[in-house]
Amino acid sequence: QLQLVESGGGLVQPGGSLTLSCTASGSTLDYWSIGWFRQAPGKEREGVSCISRSEGLTYYADSVKGRFTISRDNAKNTVSLRMNSLKPEDTAVYYCAAAPVTGIPLIGQYDSWGQGTQVTVSS
C-alpha cells in the first residue's frame, strides 16, 4: 500500500524558485512512475511533469518546459520537482501521484495520490 506526501510548497515572488518533494512510504518507489499535477481555484487539474519508474523518461507540460526539472532518488524514496522562473500562473495546489507502469503513464493509470502542497507566486 503506497502512500505519498508532498512538501516544499510556499510563497515565492515571480521569478523565484521552489523545490517540491514527493516522499513515498509503504512500498518501494522504484516500482512506480511518478507524476506531478496542479490545480488552481476554478480550474481543472492539469499534468505538470512525470518521470518513469526505470528507464528515466521524463515529460513536461509545454507551460513549464525549460523552467521545471523532475528527478528521483529511489534510495530515499523521493521524487523532486525543481521549479525555476516561477510565474503567477503557476499558483496552484500541487499533487504527486504514482502509476505502476513502465514509461509515461496515462491519467487513468495513477493509483495513489498525495494530499497536495500549496504554491503561491505573488509579489
Task: State how far the Cα of 103 lies from the Cα of 32, in Å rounded to an integer.
Answer: 10
Task: State how far the Cα of 23 lies from the Cα of 1, in Å rounded to an integer.
Answer: 14
Average pLDDT over the chain reads: 95
**42-99 residue pLDDT tens:** 999 999 999 998 878 999 999 999 999 999 998 899 999 999 999 999 999 999 999 9
Task: State how far the Cα of 77 lies from the Cα of 22, in Å rounded to an integer.
Answer: 8
Task: State how far the Cα of 26 lies from the Cα of 3, in Å rounded to an integer.
Answer: 6
- What dihedral angle (degrees, nearest 10) is formed by the CA atoms of 43, 48, 50, 56? 170
Task: State how far the Cα of 83 lies from the Cα of 64, in Å rounded to an integer.
Answer: 8
